[in-house]
Amino acid sequence: MLFGLIYALHLSYPQSLRFTFEFFQKALMNLDGSKLSPKVQALKIKMFQ
């Protein structure tokens, strides 16, 4: 529910957890999955191969 709220309100993530939240939201939950940062995109490719 937290990730949906952050996504819906276009809030920025806490700086220290930015990539963690982005990975959960975009790679695992598939919310706006086409717009990944390069770091998260590399992790997604490594995990799902």
Q: What is the DSSP string of the chain?
A: -HHHHHHHHTPPPPGGGHHHHHIIIIIIS-SSTTS--HHHHHHHHHHT-
pLDDT of residue 41: 85
Q: What is the total count of domains within the chain?
A: 1
Tokens 């700086």 -> residue: 15
Tokens of 17: 């957890």
pLDDT of residue 35: 81
CA angle 10, 47, 11 (to 5 degrees): 10
Distance CA 22, CA 32 (A): 10
| pLDDT tens, position by position, 1-49 | 776 777 777 767 778 888 888 888 777 777 776 788 888 888 888 887 8
Residue 24 sits in which domain range?
2-47
pTM for the model: 0.59
pLDDT of residue 2: 74
